[in-house]
Amino acid sequence: DPTKWVLFGYKNKSSGAIYEVGKGTGGVSELSANLTDDGVYYGLFRTILVFDGHDTVKFVLIIFIGEKISVVKKAKITTHKGAITEFIGQYHCDMTATTIDEVTD
């Protein structure tokens, strides 16, 4: 499967329902093109690292909470991480970003 990333978000601002925003074969910049500063997103990015001459697949969880999200909603969203990680499955590291320019290759 050539897919390198998948991005999930909330169906609407008041719903707790998650949907697939998009997926692609490009880099992190392709993923970040789907982010908005008034949204909350969970992305999973696949990358390959080389250790001792061997390719090793690693997964990075990207938690994006846009800078236009209210403090109350930010607090509520952080409690969702457990459910999100259970849904996504195993990953090797995570990062949290609040501006789109923080999500780069």
Which pLDDT score, from 0 to 100, does residue 103 have?
Answer: 96
- pLDDT at residue 14 in the model: 65
> For 11, phi and psi rounded to 5 degrees?
-55, -40
What's the distance, Cα to Cα, between the start and end of the chain in Å? 21
How far apart, in whole angstroms, are the C-alpha atoms of residue 36 and residue 40? 8
Q: What is the mean pLDDT of each run of 10 residues along the chain (105 residues)?
A: 94 80 96 96 95 95 95 86 89 95 92
